[in-house]
């Protein structure tokens, strides 16, 4: 009889525990039952204790050089093996680049299904209810599963993280990947980072977002100036990135980054649901838009109807003055 929750934890590129792991473990605690955390990667062994602190009773570590760079073909065999071994009722993965690639394949290999990008999960009698945005965030859908295990990927920053408890003990088990190079059919030829300066978009307390209404790439200098004064970062709508006005890495939205600043200042952004999906948990949204019917206003706490070209210089100057006082 399957029981409990298996969480696939994740490490960041610089070898820390991705905060989404604590969110998954928090969700696992609320679901109930034994919690196992699997950590797959290279150089991840040191993170096992941290997972214990977040409530995992058992941590299965697969620390293997073949997992140094994410490739689905390499991650799948240990992920399938661990899931079969643990025999959980629920499997949680993060909706990250790795999680979104791995989860559907894991589901198929286990003859079950997955609900992706969920923002709420709860246990109702013996069924898991997984709630996720659909139609670019215009709708919400709730799913149950006909098979087992019930696999869910969870959107970052959607769920309450587990609180770290010092001195928590867990059984830590090391396993080999058990993958041979010939099982990995893909080959990474090259990987390059887009240069990010200043505050990371995902960590920023203030994000200044620019949309198609900015009119061109040069206009983003003004947003950068404001972001700099506020110690924040600049984001962009998908349209802006598709037009090549701003780097793809700054894209905020359903197919870009999910951001959770205390303050989001949307400039020249109409509020397409695909963009709103990236700021859905932001409480304080300011919108500056010359179209009084722009849908972004509906989600905004403060709205300014006007041309950003007229508003922004005065706004930036005032912010600078207030910051200095």
For residue 39, what is the DSSP state?
A: E
Contact present, 246 and 210 (Cβ < 8 Å): yes
Smallest separation (angstroms) from other proteins to the CB of 281: 12
Q: What Å distances lie between residue 243 and 212, 240, 248, 258, CA to CA?
A: 9, 5, 10, 20
Q: Does 129 bind other proteins (CB under 8 A)?
A: yes
> According to CB under 8 A, which residues from 204 to 223 bind other proteins?
206
> Of 1, 166, 314, 324, which lies in the binding site for other proteins, with binding defined by CB under 8 A?
314
> According to CB under 8 A, which residues from 85 to 114 bind other proteins?
96-97, 100-101, 103-105, 107-109, 112-114
Which CB, 17 or 170, lies closer to other proteins? Answer: 17
> Of 168, 172, 173, 249, which lies in the binding site for other proteins, with binding defined by CB under 8 A?
249
Q: How far apart are CA 276 and CA 282, in angstroms?
A: 10
Smallest separation (angstroms) from other proteins to the CB of 22: 19
Exposed e or buried b for every residue in 218-238, given b needs 16+ CB within 10 A?
Answer: ebbebbbbbbbbbebbbbbbb
What phi and psi, each to the nearest 5 degrees, are found at residue 234? -100, 135
Smallest separation (angstroms) from other proteins to the CB of 57: 29
Give the x/- contact pattern for other proteins in 254-273, rule: CB under 8 A.
xx-x----xx-------x-x
Contact present, 218 and 194 (Cβ < 8 Å): no
Q: Please report where in the chains the tokens 């989001």 appear, as a residue.
A: 264
Smallest separation (angstroms) from other proteins to the CB of 53: 26
Smallest separation (angstroms) from other proteins to the CB of 234: 15
> According to CB under 8 A, which residues from 18 to 77 bind other proteins?
71-73
Smallest separation (angstroms) from other proteins to the CB of 147: 5
DSSP three-state, residue 241: helix
Q: How many residues bind other proteins (CB under 8 A)?
A: 87
> According to CB under 8 A, which residues from 133 to 192 bind other proteins?
133-136, 138-147, 185-192
Q: How far apart are CA 319 and CA 97, in angstroms?
A: 36
| Tokens representing residue 258 in the block | 């999910």
């Amino acid at each position: 009889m399957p029981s409990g929750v298996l969480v696939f934890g994740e490490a960041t590129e610089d070898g820390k525990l991705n905060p989404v792991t604590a969110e998954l473990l928090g969700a696992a605690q609320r679901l109930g039952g034994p919690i196992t955390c699997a950590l797959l990667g290279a150089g991840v062994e040191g993170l096992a204790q941290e997972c214990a602190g977040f409530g995992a009773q058992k941590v299965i570590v697969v620390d293997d050089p073949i997992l140094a760079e994410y490739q689905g073909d390499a991650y799948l065999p240990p992920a399938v093996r661990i899931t079969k071994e643990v025999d959980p009722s629920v499997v949680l993965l993060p909706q990250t680049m790795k999680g979104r690639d791995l989860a559907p394949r894991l589901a198929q290999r286990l003859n079950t299904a997955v609900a992706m990008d969920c923002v709420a999960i709860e246990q109702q009698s013996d069924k898991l209810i997984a709630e996720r945005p659909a139609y670019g965030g215009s709708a919400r859908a709730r799913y149950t599963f006909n098979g087992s295990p019930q696999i869910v990927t969870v959107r970052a920053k959607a769920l309450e993280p587990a609180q770290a408890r010092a001195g928590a003990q867990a059984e830590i088990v090391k396993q080999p990947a058990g993958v041979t190079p010939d099982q990995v059919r893909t080959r990474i030829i090259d990987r390059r980072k887009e240069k990010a300066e200043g505050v990371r978009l995902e960590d920023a307390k203030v994000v200044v977002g620019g949309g198609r209404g900015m009119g061109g790439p040069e206009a983003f200098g003004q947003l950068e100036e404001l972001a700099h004064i506020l110690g924040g970062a600049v984001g962009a709508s998908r349209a802006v990135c598709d037009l090549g006005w701003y780097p793809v890495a700054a894209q905020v939205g359903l197919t870009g980054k999910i951001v959770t600043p205390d303050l989001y200042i949307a400039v020249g952004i109409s509020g397409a649901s695909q963009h709103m999906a990236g700021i859905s948990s932001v409480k304080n949204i300011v919108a500056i838009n010359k179209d009084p019917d722009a849908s972004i206003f509906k989600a905004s706490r403060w709205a300014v109807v006007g041309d950003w070209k007229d508003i922004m210089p005065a706004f930036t100057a005032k912010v600078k003055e207030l910051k200095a006082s």
